[in-house]
């Protein structure tokens, strides 16, 4: 079974809460690294957690969510071996994986 790890700051929490059941329905094993509420927190914490989990192969892929995706993708990309792509549409998501072998989606 493919594994996917999620992480978000407070701004991304509502979207993460909606995405996890959907991703589970696609038969992925999901790990949620937090945050677990809309209480204010710092996105770099969760970008790093997602990146480290992917690189240490605790997961095949990662999804990192913040308000825009920009900050958390920058934070995730600071982890050596992470190729986080901040995408806003299906084309960007598809080609970041196909052409750049992105392993974290923001």
Residue with tokens 């920009």: 70
Closest C-alpha among 47, 38, 43 to residue 13: 38
Q: Reply yes or no on whether 86 is catalytic.
A: no
User: One of 1, 98, 99, 101 is an active-site residue; which one?
Assistant: 99
Contacts of 78 (CB under 8 A, 6+ apart): 47, 48, 51
Print burial letters for 78-100: b (CB count within 10 Å at least 16), e (below 16).
Answer: ebeebbbbbbeeeeeeeebbeee
Q: Omega before 24 cis (within 30°)?
A: no
User: One of 5, 53, 61, 66 is an active-site residue; which one?
Assistant: 66
Q: Reply yes or no on whether 66 is catalytic.
A: yes
- Report, as residue numbers or ranges, the catalytic residues: 66, 99
């Amino acid at each position: 079974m493919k594994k996917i790890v999620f992480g978000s700051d407070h701004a991304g929490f509502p979207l993460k809460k909606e995405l996890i059941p959907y991703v589970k329905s696609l038969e992925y094993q999901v790990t949620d690294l937090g945050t677990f509420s809309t209480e204010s927190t710092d996105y770099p914490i969760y970008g790093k957690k997602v990146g480290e989990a992917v690189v240490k192969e605790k997961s095949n892929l990662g999804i990192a969510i913040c308000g825009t995706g920009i900050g958390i993708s920058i934070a995730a990309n600071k982890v050596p071996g992470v190729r986080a792509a901040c995408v806003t549409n299906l084309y960007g998501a598809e080609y970041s994986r196909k052409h750049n072998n992105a392993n974290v989606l923001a």
